Structure 1
Amino acid sequence: MLAVICDDLAKDRDILLDFCARYAKNNHLPVAALSFENAGALLQSREARSADVIFMDIYMEGALGVDAARILRGKGFRGALVFTTTSREHYADGFDVEASHYLIKPISWEAFCEAMRRTHDRMGVSARKVRVTAGRNELDVDISGIWYVEVYGHKTVLHTLRGEVAVNQSLSALEERLGGDPFLRCYRYFIVNMDFVKRLNEDCFLMKDGREIPLSRDGRTALKNRYMAYVFGRMEE
């Protein structure tokens, strides 16, 4: 499990780092922790975007934690967000970025454990894995972290939050194992995760990483309808 802490006060970072180590020891869990002193450093870190949970101070010099959280969600971050704050003023903003919890400073050990419990609940929903073969190795890839899958040349490549993975399976075999929504076979050489679509264009999906993925000319209307049905279904949830 990877926990990231972003706070401009060293003493508050140290408290959360100590809590992470204590939580790992008490629960016999591997917990790695990274800390950043401002939102700019956090947003530049590729590793931070693959975190399971980010503890984000709302009031930091230079940028509000809520604004940094919106950018992270826009870049495809799907982990848990826990805001740390001295005020409840920005509680409503947390809904926009799917915040899992708020911790009021000074943070108690009991409150930290509750935040971790909620993080584990979130991970339980989205921690489904798909086993793939990459060269001679077998890997378990977090399905919720797959942006899209493409075939080029003789390679099938998973584009994920943690980078690219070239696998031995065919696109059709992966399509079956991914099991439908949120995954959509939109073209002969592509499967997209609809959770990472930024915008539906006339003839393509614009992904959140800026990649344009074409829609098959045959069945384009059906593909658009399926995507819109998925989006509306998520809104109703």
Structure 2
Amino acid sequence: MNAAIVDDMADECEILRSLLKQYEETERQTIHITEFHSGSQLLADYIPGSYDVVFMDIFLNNENGVDCALKLRQLDEKVNLIFLTTSSEFGVKSYDVRAADYIVKPATLEKLSRALHYCKIAEPVSDPSVSVITKNQPLEISLSCILYADYQNRCACVHLKDCLVPVSGSFAELSEQLTVYPQFMSCFKGVVVNLKEVRELAADSLILKNGERLPISRRLQKQVQQQRLSLSAGSLRGDEI
């Protein structure tokens, strides 16, 4: 589970971090924790799916935690939100952003466990995924969400249906992870495409279902076409990839 703590008080962050570590040991569930000392820090370059749960303090220095949560909800509809507050009177505000629960400070393991119980943390599924590091944080990306990967501005990038994810490490390492799966192929130097997202093969490019065009090497055209046909045949047979 990836968790973010948004609180401008360092001691409060430390308390919650300690409780999460206790929860981790009790539930035998690995938790990766990232701290932010303002809502704007969290929201800057936010990537949907980065966190399973965000603990948001309502009273932030020069910021309103509810307003920050509203902006976060616009960016990520699925992330679980848990408010941290000094008074239960603010609990009603949690409904505006579909928060899972709120914790009245001081936080305790009991309160934390109750709040996490209300969260919808996805269990590991059979849908294959790749593990990457982005902005010093681990991220699992489902293959079905990937359009293609490429190398630009000296950085390996994964293009999803709704955003772009810069990835630490070499493009060769990323390509190796992806091309283990038959729906991913190199179509050009520095470009690996998800063939399931290809609408048609043009003379010198691949046209994706969303209208984007990717270059294709002439020497790889036949191979790409054969692999697309193979994937289509497999789908008709009901084969799993």
- CA gap of 1:28–1:133, structure 2 versus 1, over 3 A, is closer
Query: What SS does structure 2 have at the residue aligned with 1:99?
Result: coil
- CA gap of 1:24–1:103, structure 2 versus 1, over 3 A, is same
Cα distance in 1, alignment partners of residues 75 and 165 from structure 2: 13
Q: TM-score, normalised by structure 1?
A: 0.57
AA aligned opposite 1:78: K
Query: What SS does structure 2 have at the residue aligned with 1:116?
Result: helix
Verify the 8 A CA contact 1:129 1:142 in the aligned structure 2: no
Aligned pair 1:163/2:165, yes or no? yes
**Deviations 1:131-184 (CA, angstroms, capped at 9, x unpaired):** 2689xxxx973489x4x74799xxxx6516682787552767469xxxxxxxxx
Cα distance in 2, alignment partners of residues 45 and 29 from structure 1: 27
What are the residue-to-residue correspondences of 1:76-225 with 2, within 5 Å? 76=76, 78-119=78-119, 121-124=120-123, 128=125, 130-131=127-128, 141-142=141-142, 146=145, 149=147, 158-159=159-160, 163=165, 169=183, 173=196, 189-190=208-209
Verify the 8 A CA contact 1:50 1:77 in the aligned structure 2: no
**Deviations 1:24-67 (CA, angstroms, capped at 9, x unpaired):** 12222211111122212222254796111111001112111111
Cα distance in 1, alignment partners of residues 43 and 105 from structure 2: 23
- CA gap of 1:17–1:158, structure 2 versus 1, over 3 A, is same
Query: What SS does structure 2 have at the residue aligned with 1:72?
Result: helix
- CA gap of 1:150–1:190, structure 2 versus 1, over 3 A, is farther
What are the residue-to-residue correspondences of 1:44-63 with 2, within 5 Å? 44=44, 46=46, 50-63=50-63
- CA gap of 1:133–1:70, structure 2 versus 1, over 3 A, is closer
Cα distance in 1, alignment partners of residues 130 and 3 from structure 2: 28
What is the match of residue 73 of structure 2?
Answer: 73
- CA gap of 1:35–1:132, structure 2 versus 1, over 3 A, is closer
- Please provide the CA RMSD for this pair: 3.9
AA aligned opposite 2:127: V
Total equivalences in the alignment? 171
- CA gap of 1:116–1:172, structure 2 versus 1, over 3 A, is same
Query: What SS does structure 2 have at the residue aligned with 1:94?
Result: helix
AA aligned opposite 1:190: K
Q: TM-score, normalised by structure 2?
A: 0.56
- CA gap of 1:151–1:44, structure 2 versus 1, over 3 A, is closer
Q: By how many angstroms is 1:3 displaced?
A: 1.0
- CA gap of 1:108–1:16, structure 2 versus 1, over 3 A, is same
Q: By how many angstroms is 1:19 displaced?
A: 0.7
User: Identity of paired residues, percent?
Assistant: 26
